[in-house]
Amino acid sequence: AQSVAQPEDQVNVAEGNPLTVKCTYSVSGNPYLFWYVQYPNRGLQFLLKYITGDNLVKGSYGFEAEFNKSQTSFHLKKPSALVSDSALYFCAVRDGGFSGGYNKLIFGAGTRLAVHP
């Protein structure tokens, strides 16, 4: 069964410091991995995705994520955090195989990022 784990409920970072939000996944086929951000009272906004190719993918607002197949991880990173990055971040996976479930996105529980001035 597909699953996503975000081990941290909350990550606290000082503005200007690098940030990492962790994500690990489990799928039976090739993983298609996504990061979304949710600001208060808003829908989810797409940040970036990994489908194939270079393990380091770059996305919106200076975020990037590294796909690590051996560790089944897809951690979200940013070199220098901003207060405006404070939000709820969701990792999600699709199973790229055709064993079923290729249409649906499985989300992690979310990690709240708090960036302090």
Partner 1 sequence: EPEVTQTPSHQVTQMGQEVILRCVPISNHLYFYWYRQILGQKVEFLVSFYNNEISEKSEIFDDQFSVERPDGSNFTLKIRSTKLEDSAMYFCASSEIPNTGELFFGEGSRLTVL
Residues of this chain that bind partner 1 (CB under 8 A)? 32, 34, 36, 41-46, 49, 51, 90, 94, 96, 100-110
- Helices H / strands E in the chain, number of each: 0, 12
- Residue 15 CB, nearest approach to partner 1 (Å): 27
Two structure tokens written together for 2? 């597909």
For residues 104 and 95, what is the distance between their CA atoms, to the nearest angstrom? 8
Closer by beta carbon to partner 1, 53 or else 117: 53
For residues 85 and 10, what is the distance between their CA atoms, to the nearest angstrom? 13
Q: 17 φ, ψ to 5°? A: -85, 155
- Residue 88 CB, nearest approach to partner 1 (Å): 10
Closer by beta carbon to partner 1, 49 or else 75: 49
- Residue 27 CB, nearest approach to partner 1 (Å): 12
Closer by beta carbon to partner 1, 2 or else 85: 2
